[in-house]
Amino acid sequence: MARTDTRFRQSHNAMLDMLSAMAVGDGLPSEVQLAARLGVSRTVIRSVMQKLGSDGIITGSGRDKRMLRRPNTKDRLPLREDYIGRDELEARFLDWVLRFDVPAGTALNITQLARQFMVPPHALQEFLASLGQSGLIERRARGGWRLLGFTADYAVELSEFRQVLELNAIRVFAALPDDHPAWAALSAVRDEHLDLLHRIERDFHDFSRLDGRFHALVNSVVRNRFVAEFQKVISLIFHYHYQWDKTMERYRNEAAIREHLTIINALQARDGAEAEARARAHLATSKETLLSSMRGHHLA
């Protein structure tokens, strides 16, 4: 078997569901309509039709196909939900790298990793290639991959790069015309910050998401696909570390909220220089947090 016939099996079962909602003797929709409804190609529909025909569930051919009997549970095709999706793979891989302190410089083993992550080797290969630009991974001369690792160096450079991008975003933001929708969004985010500050004792866990929204908003004013691409990597990594460093979480979060508010206030006062200074301070704190989180994790 070459490609998995998962799509065929899923379509088959979906078709059974559809038939269950119909009466015996009813005519079936056209192949094109069925294909559109299930979101697959006509080829799959036809394979399913053939199977249903040989199973005695439908009869007829060409334009006139009718339901012969109601499908029952035994007609369903089992489908092993073995392989995971691409996003899941990304999450698991990063989790593995960032959590298990995989030593820098380790040679990666495609086959083994593919088994470990439950994906076909091919998919892993492609995934690793796509990670190439992120600097976490390197192609070895004669085949194979090497994990460069999430080192302190890496974290520092990532933070600095983030700072470059985000300070630029702050400058752009401060120069936006007053009727730009971002100002309204900023107001809303400010209210959310104030709100969370009031119930910080109980809900300090909510900060991680608010933090994400705040930084996303700031960066959203820079319409640039490269910035957006990096933003994804950055927020991913920072998000991951947020989850682990539980020390002082409540106080760190409260402090971060207050830092955000100083930035927002400066922006709303259209004081670009002040906003930039506040943002610089906040990003420095953030970088320190990331580094200390790494140190803590290393010892654990």
Site residues (vs a copy of itself, CB under 8 A): 125-127, 129-130, 132-135, 154, 157-158, 160-161, 164-165, 168, 223-227, 229-230
Encode burial over 254-274: b for 16+ CB neighbours within 10 A, e otherwise: bebbebbebbbebbeeeebeb
Q: How far is CA 5 from CA 12, 39, 118, 128, 135, in A?
A: 11, 15, 17, 25, 36
Q: What are phi and psi of 180, to 5 degrees?
A: -70, 135
The nearest distance, CB 72 to a copy of itself, in angstroms, is 31
Could you say which residues in the range 121-160 bind DNA, by CB under 7 A? 121-123, 125, 142-145
Q: Is the Cα torsion angle 76, 81, 82, 84 positive or negative in sign?
A: positive
The nearest distance, CB 80 to a copy of itself, in angstroms, is 19
Q: Which of 77, 79, 110, 217 binds DNA (CB under 7 A)?
A: 110
**Choice between 79 and 104, CB closer to DNA:** 79
Residue keyed to tokens 């015996």: 24
**Choice between 43 and 187, CB closer to DNA:** 43
Q: What are phi and psi of 5, to 5 degrees?
A: -95, 30
- Of 88-96, 101-109, 194-202, 283-291, the window that binds DNA (rule: CB under 7 A) is 101-109
The nearest distance, CB 284 to a copy of itself, in angstroms, is 16
**Choice between 6 and 285, CB closer to DNA:** 6
**Choice between 56 and 121, CB closer to DNA:** 121
For the chain, the residue count is 300
The secondary structure of 143-182 as a DSSP string is S-EEE----HHHHHHHHHHHHHHHHHHHHHHHTS-TT-HH
The nearest distance, CB 6 to DNA, in angstroms, is 5
Contact between 42 and DNA per CB under 7 A = yes
The nearest distance, CB 225 to a copy of itself, in angstroms, is 5
**Choice between 145 and 173, CB closer to DNA:** 145
Say how far apart CA 44 and CA 135 lie, in whole Å. 41
Q: Which of DNA, a copy of itself, none does 154 bind, CB closer than 5 to 8 A by kind?
A: a copy of itself
Q: How far is CA 210 from CA 65, 82, 231, 283, 290, in A?
A: 55, 35, 16, 16, 18
Contact between 40 and DNA per CB under 7 A = yes
Q: Which of a copy of itself, DNA, none does 33 bind, CB closer than 5 to 8 A by kind?
A: DNA
Angle, vertex CA 274, rays to CA 242 and CA 287, nearest 5? 25
**Choice between 29 and 272, CB closer to DNA:** 29
Say how far apart CA 225 and CA 215 lie, in whole Å. 16
Judged by the rule CB under 7 A, the positions of this chain that interact with DNA are: 1-8, 30-33, 40-44, 46-47, 61-63, 65, 83, 107-112, 120-123, 125, 142-145
